[in-house]
Amino acid sequence: MNDSLIRACRLERPERRPVWFMRQAGRYLKEYREIRKNYSVLELCRRPEEAAEISALPVNRFDLDAAIVFSDIMIPLTGMNADIRIIENEGPKVAGRIENAEDVQRLREFDPSTVQYVYEAVERTRRMLSDRVPVIGFAGGPFTLSSYLIEGSSSRDFMRVKKFMYRKRELWDELMGKLADMCISHLQEQHRAGCRVLQLFDSWAGTLSAADYMEYVRPYTEHITRRLSADGAIVIHFITGNPSLVSCMACRGVSAVSVDWRVNIRDVMDALPDLAVQGNLEPALMMAPKQMMLERASRILAETEGRPGHIFNLGHGMPAEADVENVEALVKLVHGEMR
Ligand code: CP3
């Protein structure tokens, strides 16, 4: 097994610098688009054979240091009785968004057997890759999930979820408690299926101030990360959009923080000497001229040189318009194979 990712997460010296990309299995790959023609995203997530094939695609093509299970953060919510669709170029839609106590009560306790196909996809992906690289398991963070449930869709200003959080504190705590329990059991099942590394995607929590994050979200996140690390799992914590949350991401149980392009990655490493740091190339550079992209990636490599525990990634997901040649060149650069 290529254990570069695991060694980096433990601040040990890996054989080579690990690199993988959030949303590495997606629309920028024509092989993905080909399979996707016949199914919706959610249908694909429910088909372990196709899901495993999709996860393995970018790993084989670019020699990446990790696979990520093909699923979506909305999938486990379907196992809690939520009615979810995903609209292309828009994102998730929730029918009957959460507004009151009855809506929160309607959300059933998560039963992992309702999404058994995710854990089967993990096992199939491991087999398909002969355990050559780790398979990362994941879940959405409790703020990001509650924002989809309360807003009903993607949001720009998150007014509904913030109003709910401020005005209905008890209900907020009940909802966050249910979501945190779901995250724990969904991630534990992926860990059991063989994901040694787990990433918590709290993508939209950066809309909160540090004070509100600490008050309304972090206790739940820390509950999740402590439980998982007690099981021996390695946890990566990801939030975008808010440099002042970087140190708040370092809760107990977290091995690595994943940061976006708005922060200087060396500053993050200096501020968090006991943690691995993942990131943080601007995703739009995947559509920039190759030399420009390589030059900017080289700066990140130089800034993090000599410090163990850097996991190369983008600051957010791989864009659908990413240039495949850029992806190829970037991985070679990180691996020191650029001529
Ligand atoms: O390759 C991978 O990283 C694994 C699979 C993965 C998907 N979603 C599949 C998917 C992962 C890790 C996710 C996480 C996810 N889903 C997040 C957190 C990460 C982030 O980007 O912040 C969020 C917020 C979602 C919700 C979601 N699902 C969005 C916003 C979208 C995009 C809608 C669009 O069309 O632009 C989805 C759909 C989705 N999930 C796609 C994929 C590959 C889009 C591809 C398609 O339409 O075929």
Kindly indicate the confidence band of residue 339, based on its pLDDT and cuts at 50, 70 and 90: low
Reduce the secondary structure of 99-166 to three states and give it as a string. CCHHHHHHCCCCCHHHHHHHHHHHHHHHHHCCCCCCEEEEEECHHHHHHHHHHCCCCCCCHHHHHHHH
Distance 43 CA to ligand 1 centre (A): 13
Position in ligand 1 atom list of the atom nearest CA 203: 22
* Both structure tokens of 1: 């097994």
Specify the pLDDT at position 338: 81
For a pocket test of ligand 1, which of 19, 20, 22, 23 has the largest count of ligand atoms closer than 8 A to its C-beta? 23
pLDDT cut 70: percent of the chain above it? 100
With tokens 């500053």, the residue in question is: 267
Distance 72 CA to ligand 1 centre (A): 6
Buried b (16+ CB within 10 A) or exposed e, 229-268: beeebbbbbbbbebeebbebbbbebbbbbbbbbebebbeb
Per-state percent for the chain, helix, strand, coil, to nearest 5: 50, 15, 35
Q: Judge whether 23 and 318 are in contact, CB under 8 Å.
A: yes
The closest residue, in CA terms, to atom 24 on ligand 1 is 203
Question: Which amino acid, residue 266?
Answer: R
The closest residue, in CA terms, to atom 27 on ligand 1 is 91
Cα separation, 311 vs 219, in Å, equals 26
Distance 57 CA to ligand 1 centre (A): 16
Distance 65 CA to ligand 1 centre (A): 20
Residue 171 pLDDT > 90: yes
Specify the pLDDT at position 208: 98
Question: For residue 233, what are the CA distances in angstroms to 28, 198, 308?
Answer: 31, 7, 20
The residues facing 253 across adjacent strands are: none
The tens digit of pLDDT for each residue in 306-331 reads: 999 999 999 999 999 999 999 999 99
Ligand 1 pocket, residues with Cβ under 6 angstroms:
22-27, 36, 41, 68, 70, 72-74, 86, 88-89, 91-92, 138, 201, 203, 316-317
Cα separation, 227 vs 241, in Å, equals 26
- What's the length of the chain? 339
The tens digit of pLDDT for each residue in 68-112 reads: 999 999 999 999 999 999 999 999 999 999 999 999 999 999 999
Q: Judge whether 122 and 135 are in contact, CB under 8 Å.
A: yes
Residue 17 pLDDT > 90: yes
* Both structure tokens of 122: 């993990």
Among candidate residues 241, 240, 172, 157, the one with its CA nearest the CA of residue 201: 240
The tens digit of pLDDT for each residue in 278-293 reads: 999 999 999 999 999 9
Q: Judge whether 32 and 105 are in contact, CB under 8 Å.
A: no
Burial bucket for residue 279 (CB in 10 Å: 0-12, 13-18, 19+): buried
Cα separation, 264 vs 271, in Å, equals 11
Q: Judge whether 139 and 69 are in contact, CB under 8 Å.
A: no
Q: In what order do the strands lie in the sheet with 256-258?
A: 67-68, 135-140, 197-201, 234-238, 256-258, 276-281, 310-314
Cα separation, 137 vs 220, in Å, equals 19
The closest residue, in CA terms, to atom 8 on ligand 1 is 72
Of the chain, the end-to-end C-alpha distance in Å amounts to 26
Residue 253 pLDDT > 90: yes
The residues facing 258 across adjacent strands are: 238, 278
Record the pTM. 0.97
Peptide bond into 280 cis (omega under 30): yes
Distance 274 CA to ligand 1 centre (A): 30
